[in-house]
């Protein structure tokens, strides 16, 4: 943002606590000067006039001494700050923004309040991450100008911003601010306890931790370091700024002469005056703004704020390094979820792409209207705190909007009952198009594949389907499955929300409410990606990256990392799939080119649709095998096998005839094991092996010779399929356990990995047996 030249000299230099001058209720003019950022065609203006949140974390980070915080609500207390900012398309060159006019176009009779230069510096960006950058990191909006208002009496204030540009047009934008005083719980409870006037939100709210935190804290039941500086977030309307005389807790406490107790002990709450109890704990007005105008207006909803913006929660939950959830969330993709599938006509998309849309969807789960899009909230908001957590209701753990009991996966058959807290994640992070058959069967016919119409593929995030090993196109084969879905408690949450200690390099960048499993670290001027493998090491040993070596899945003769191998399989499969110029003339020959995306057409034969679905399924999962290596590899190999030489039950006819005489021979079936070694035909076909030759067991694994029973250990054409050992043991909470190994009894036991803290669940450790003639394991308790 270029610095605004305001025609009210010196206002920017005034301290935040100084009385704002009583200017005429006319206009504050601003001219934007600067150099063009780029030249080109006209760019859409996309103007927005916002009330900006200002959080405790920002006040500290930007050195904003004596500033009042703000939740960014349009209902604020008398004397509280309204930080207004005008946003425009980030692609507009600054030199093309020629004029901004701010006008206080409406105010209560008798008000002397006036607009003033905003005290926030140009180093302070717009608050919402989604207004700064999109999911790809591209700029979205820029701050064109700011102004400031401090209402001096109850009533409504209207601020208008007029912006003029060269090349992008002009517009007028309006923001109405309701100034009010705080009433306390007794007033809110009159209407919001149920009945004909409003829903009963009081009863469920009263069972949340918000409803009792101050009550318990001053009696010494919440913390041993609770002090008077804490109560600004645990009472109603607490603002010690001398202008904020609006009936908040601090005003009534000063009037009654109440002071914070010197000792936190039982009886402090009982001794609190009744009019202060009415304003204690985290109540309705903390999140919705002061309610006097709303109450006196007989419940007029325009006189109170209801929002899904993160700033409402961040007015308290943003104070690193103690209250870190908002700071973590700022670094998540949820904070800048794509704007495209929102707005009118996008109801089916909005249920997962907007905060309000998901809240409405979650409220209907388990009913016949669970997928109803009637009346859906399609207004864009990021996936904020209120999206997943219900501020009014603690019926479910962590006040989540979805119970940690069960969730149906996209195939419509698999009911997940062991996901724990991750149950809520499953509701969105699964295939949008339902069962894989929707894409393979319905899509070519133009039939609906999802609630919004007909499209192909699993959509952007089929993670749950992948983790649980369902909803891929299996060709009738038994595709192996990984253990993550059964061995990890709370599944997604256990890994993606792992705790990162304060001061650690990944603090606030990964884990927690970032949901990131890696972060960028700069060392010596070089930026490196760091994988958060700590939680993985409990089972997989001392790995340092997700891309750790396991096997040569893509068959190139080199054992690379899991993710590299899966990407290799994706490339192999893409080379067999048609490109966008495919013609259904029966003469198609694969172009052999690696494709970064697969664009499917309705006239593709079924074999291409099936393989393309699996490519999208694995690619869009995004983990490249980490979520479920056996399933991802199995799907890709089955698809590659199917497209190699034409398919008959997923195996080429020529291959079945070569080894079994016909395609109908029972031994030619994909899952048959004619050699009696337990390795199915489809695996041997993918590895180029003779299906009638059994593997020879050697001390270091199973060695297969290409098409021959003659084994030549050490030759370059040998393929080895190694075995592994899984150690499973039960744990108790409060105890820790150390896995140890030894190759010969009588020698010294060696620790394997770090001690594991017990939590009452069963733990598992998978270790390779390659290069070991014999190996013994034990688990011992540690201090």
Q: What is the pTM of this model?
A: 0.79
Which pLDDT score is estimated for 764?
Answer: 78
Q: What is the DSSP letter of 747?
A: B
pLDDT exceeds cutoff 50 at 382: yes
pLDDT exceeds cutoff 90 at 773: no
Residue 269's pLDDT band (cuts 50, 70, 90) = very high
Query: Is 32 within 8 Å of 100 (Cβ atoms)?
Result: yes
13-53 confidence digits (pLDDT tens): 333 333 333 333 333 333 333 333 334 457 999 999 999 99
Q: What is the DSSP letter of 445?
A: G
590-605 confidence digits (pLDDT tens): 777 889 999 998 989 9
| Domain edges within the chain | 4-180, 192-289, 326-495, 497-540, 654-722, 724-782
Q: For residues 114-125, give the mean pLDDT.
A: 95
CATH number for the domain running over 4-180:
2.60.40.10
Higher pLDDT, 692 or 516: 516
Closest CA to 433 of 604, 598, 613, 631: 613
Higher pLDDT, 340 or 547: 547
Helical axes 629-643 vs 562-576, angle rounded to 10°: 20
Which pLDDT score is estimated for 587?
Answer: 67
Residue 572's pLDDT band (cuts 50, 70, 90) = confident
pLDDT exceeds cutoff 70 at 772: no
Beta strands in 126-237 (DSSP E): 141-149, 155-165, 170-180
Residue 106 tokens read as: 């409406």
pLDDT exceeds cutoff 50 at 709: no
Element (H, E) at 214: helix 213-217
The 10 Å CB-count burial string (b at 16+, else e) for 499-514 is: ebeeeeebbbbbbbbb
Torsion of CA 649, 654, 660, 664, to 10 degrees: 40
Higher pLDDT, 689 or 719: 689
Angstrom distances, CA of residue 249 to CA of 254, 671, 715, 774: 9, 72, 81, 71
Q: For residues 505-525, give the mean pLDDT.
A: 94
Closest CA to 197 of 298, 302, 307: 298
Taken in order 632, 637, 640, 643, the sign of the CA dihedral is negative
Percent of the chain at pLDDT > 70 equals 86
pLDDT exceeds cutoff 90 at 151: yes
Highest average pLDDT, of 365-374, 472-481, 654-663, comes from 472-481
Q: Pairing state of beta strands 116-117 and 141-149?
A: antiparallel
What values do phi and psi take at 276, rounded to 5? Answer: -85, -35
Query: Is 443 within 8 Å of 449 (Cβ atoms)?
Result: yes
Residue 454 tokens read as: 């007909």
- Average per-residue pLDDT for the chain: 86
669-678 confidence digits (pLDDT tens): 888 889 887 7
Closest CA to 496 of 467, 518, 521: 518
Element (H, E) at 681: helix 681-687
pLDDT exceeds cutoff 50 at 417: yes
Residue 7's pLDDT band (cuts 50, 70, 90) = very low
């Amino acid at each position: 943002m270029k610095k605004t030249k305001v025609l009210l000299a010196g206002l920017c230099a005034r301290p935040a606590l100084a009385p704002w001058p009583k200017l005429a209720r006319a206009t504050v003019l601003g001219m934007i000067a600067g150099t063009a950022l780029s030249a080109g065609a006209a760019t859409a203006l996309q103007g927005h006039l916002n009330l900006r949140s200002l959080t405790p974390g920002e006040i500290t980070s930007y050195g904003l001494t004596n500033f009042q915080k703000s939740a960014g609500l349009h209902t604020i207390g008398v004397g509280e700050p309204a930080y207004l900012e005008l946003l425009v398309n980030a692609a507009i060159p600054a030199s093309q923004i020629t004029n901004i006019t701010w006008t206080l176009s409406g105010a209560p009779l008798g008000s002397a309040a006036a607009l003033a230069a905003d005290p926030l510096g140009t180093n302070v960006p717009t608050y919402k991450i989604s207004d700064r950058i999109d999911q790809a990191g591209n700029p979205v909006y820029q701050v064109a100008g700011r102004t400031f208002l401090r209402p001096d009496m109850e009533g409504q204030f209207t601020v208008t911003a007029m912006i003029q540009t060269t090349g992008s047009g002009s517009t007028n934008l309006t923001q109405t601010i309701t100034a009010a005083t705080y009433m306390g719980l007794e007033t809110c409870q009159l209407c919001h306890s149920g009945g004909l006037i409003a829903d009963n939100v009081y009863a469920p709210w009263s069972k949340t931790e918000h409803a009792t935190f101050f009550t318990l804290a001053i009696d010494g039941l919440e913390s041993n370091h609770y002090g008077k500086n804490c109560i600004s977030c645990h009472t109603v309307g607490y603002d010690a700024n001398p202008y904020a005389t609006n009936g908040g807790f601090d005003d009534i406490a000063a009037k009654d002469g109440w002071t914070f107790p010197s000792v936190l002990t039982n009886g402090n709450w009982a001794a609190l005056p009744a009019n202060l109890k009415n304003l204690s704990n985290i109540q309705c007005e903390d999140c919705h703004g002061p309610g006097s105008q709303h109450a006196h207006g007989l419940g007029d909803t325009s006189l109170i704020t209801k929002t899904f913006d993160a700033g409402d929660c961040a007015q308290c939950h943003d104070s690193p390094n103690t209250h870190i959830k908002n700071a973590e969330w700022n670094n998540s993709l949820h904070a800048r979820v794509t704007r495209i599938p929102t707005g009118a006509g996008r109801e089916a998309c909005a249920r997962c792409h907007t905060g309000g849309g998901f809240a409405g969807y979650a409220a209907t789960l388990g009913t016949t209207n669970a997928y109803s899009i009637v009346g859906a909230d399609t207004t864009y908001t990021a996936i904020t705190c209120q999206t997943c957590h219900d501020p009014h209701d603690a019926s479910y753990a962590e006040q989540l909007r979805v119970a940690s009991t069960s969730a149906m996966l996209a195939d419509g058959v698999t009911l997940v009952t062991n996901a724990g807290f991750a149950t809520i994640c499953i509701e969105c992070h699964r295939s949008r198009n339902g069962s894989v058959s929707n894409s393979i069967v319905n899509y070519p016919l133009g039939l609906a594949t999802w609630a919004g119409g007909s499209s192909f593929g699993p959509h952007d995030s089929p993670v749950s389907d992948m983790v649980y090993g369902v909803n891929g196109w299996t060709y009738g084969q038994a595709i192996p499955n990984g253990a993550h879905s059964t061995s990890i408690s709370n599944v997604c949450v256990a890994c993606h929300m792992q705790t990162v200690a304060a001061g650690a390099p990944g603090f606030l960048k990964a884990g927690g409410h970032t949901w990131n499993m890696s972060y960028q670290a700069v060392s010596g001027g070089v930026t490196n990606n760091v994988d958060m493998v700590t939680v993985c090491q409990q089972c997989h040993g001392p790995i340092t990256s997700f891309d750790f070596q396991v096997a040569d899945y893509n068959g190139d003769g080199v054992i690379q990392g899991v993710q590299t191998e899966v990407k290799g399989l994706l490339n192999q499969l893409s080379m067999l799939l048609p490109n966008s110029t495919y013609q259904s003339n029966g003469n198609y020959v694969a172009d052999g080119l690696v494709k970064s995306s697969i664009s499917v057409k309705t006239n593709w034969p079924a074999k291409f649709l099936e393989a393309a679905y699996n490519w999208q399924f694995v690619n869009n999962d995004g983990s490249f095998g980490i979520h479920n290596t056996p399933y991802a590899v199995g799907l890709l190999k089955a698809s590659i096998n199917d497209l190699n030489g034409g398919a008959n039950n997923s195996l080429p006819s020529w291959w079945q005839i070569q080894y079994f005489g016909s395609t109908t021979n029972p031994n030619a079936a994909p899952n048959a094991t004619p050699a009696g070694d337990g390795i199915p035909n489809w695996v041997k076909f993918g590895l180029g092996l003779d299906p009638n030759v059994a593997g020879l067991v050697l001390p270091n694994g199973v060695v297969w010779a290409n098409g021959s029973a003659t084994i030549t250990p050490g030759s370059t054409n040998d393929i080895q399929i190694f075995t592994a050992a899984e150690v499973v043991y039960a744990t108790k909470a409060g105890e820790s356990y150390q896995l140890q190994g030894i190759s010969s009894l009588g020698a010294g036991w060696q620790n394997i990995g770090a001690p594991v803290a017990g939590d009452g669940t069963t733990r598992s450790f998978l270790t390779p047996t390659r290069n070991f003639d014999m190996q013994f394991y034990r688990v011992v308790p540690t201090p």
